Amino acid sequence: MSFNRDVKNELKSVIPAARHCQLSEIAAILSICGIVNITTYNMVEIEVRTENSAVASKFNALVRRCFHIAPRVLVRGHSTNHDHHIYIQTIDDNDEAIKILKAVKLMNHDGEINETLSLVDNVLIQRSCCKRAFIRGSFLATGSMSDPEKQYHYEIVLNDIDKAEQIRDILKGFDLGAKITARKNYHVVYVKEGANIVDVLNIMEAHKSLMELENIRIVRDMRNKVNRRVNCETANINKTVSAAVKQIEDIRYIKEHAGLGSLKDNLRETAELRLLEPELSLTDLGQMLNPPVGKTGVYHRLRKLSIIADELRQGSSDN
């Protein structure tokens, strides 16, 4: 089971205790997945369509809890993907539909309905707890999260820019760096970075998923630190090996063209020891000299040998 599905299944069971929060979550689902039909007899019907069983289950539970109304449920097979289903919930009683629409502020006192079912500037979602419920309902309706083992990404896809800006601004109100991007004909509100994803799970009250994500983050961070350390050590080893190869090439060149006996005693001793111990670090090499020499001293001796070798090469090219 995917992490995204785990999160939605957890959120399906989160039922707010306060009625105003229940209304906010119902409003979010209706605003995104809802359709309001006016029949030929001027009767109002509400229809909620979704391919996600968690959304259908949550909407049904909230409406029953908040209004004591049982939506009529129909499950249809997907037209192109037979492994998926479309869950259709209908409230076809005119009085019940109007009662719900007015309660969630999608219908005004004159019976007028916003064409896009937008809740922008809606007084229903002014409280912090109601904003949390609204974000939870919006994510359930059309949101998704990436597998945190691969990347940290949270998004809610909307077909209306006003709704997208509203959700972005709510998330920003919780100090989350939410942004909007266009994807075909949709507007995608998204959040990145592990710490932000943890915060948004906390906002939606997906505490079990939050703990799972934190565990994944700890393992990922540890793995990344180990990889960085290994890469750093590997780079240092390669650098050390390359330097040792160059040192040996220089010493052999001196030996072949001038002889090591032409060197001062301290340089000759260092050169002979480097040829015998090509893999030793400068510190270990210095400890084997008589008397012992520090790392810096060994470096300067080998540097001097390199200069001598370069001078011999220059002299040979001039001739």
Q: What percent of the chain has pLDDT over 90?
A: 41
Binning pLDDT at 50, 70 and 90, where does residue 39 land?
A: confident
pLDDT band at 315 (very low <50, low <70, confident <90, very high): confident
Average pLDDT over residues 260-281: 87
Residue 134 pLDDT exceeds 90:
yes
Q: In the prediction, which pLDDT does 116 show?
A: 57
pLDDT, position 122: 65
Nearest to 57 by CA among 14, 27, 20: 14
Mean per-residue pLDDT, 116-126: 65
Please give the C-alpha separations between residue 75 and each of 13, 87, 193, in angstroms, as whole numbers: 21, 5, 37
* pLDDT recorded at residue 192: 92
Residue 319 predicted with pLDDT over 70? no
Rounded Cα distance between 115 and 35, Å, is 10
Q: What confidence category does residue 121 fall into, taking pLDDT thresholds of 50, 70 and 90?
A: low
pLDDT digits 0-9 by tens, 158-181:
988 988 998 999 999 999 989 999
Q: How far apart are CA 292 and CA 270, in angstroms?
A: 11
Structural domains of the chain ordered from first start:
3-205 (3.10.28.10), 232-318 (no CATH)
Provide the pLDDT for residue 90: 92
pTM of the full predicted structure? 0.70
* Of the listed ranges 22-31, 110-119, 284-293, 300-309, the one predicted with least confidence: 110-119
Render pLDDT for 42-95 as a digit per residue (tens, 0 to 9): 889 999 999 888 899 999 999 999 999 999 988 887 656 556 788 999 999 999
Average pLDDT value over all residues in the chain: 87
Mean pLDDT of 297-309: 90
48, 52, 54, 55: CA torsion to nearest 10: -30
Is the pLDDT higher at 241 or at 305? 305
pLDDT for residue 115: 56
- The tens digit of pLDDT for each residue in 230-240 reads 788 777 777 77
Cα angle 179, 182, 185; round to 5: 140
| pLDDT recorded at residue 118 | 63
Integer Cα distance of 50 and 28 in angstroms: 13
Contact 48/89 with Cβ under 8 angstroms?
yes
Does residue 18 sit in helix, strand or coil? coil
* SS3 of residue 230 by DSSP: helix
For residue 267, report the phi and psi dihedrals to the nearest 5 degrees. -70, -40
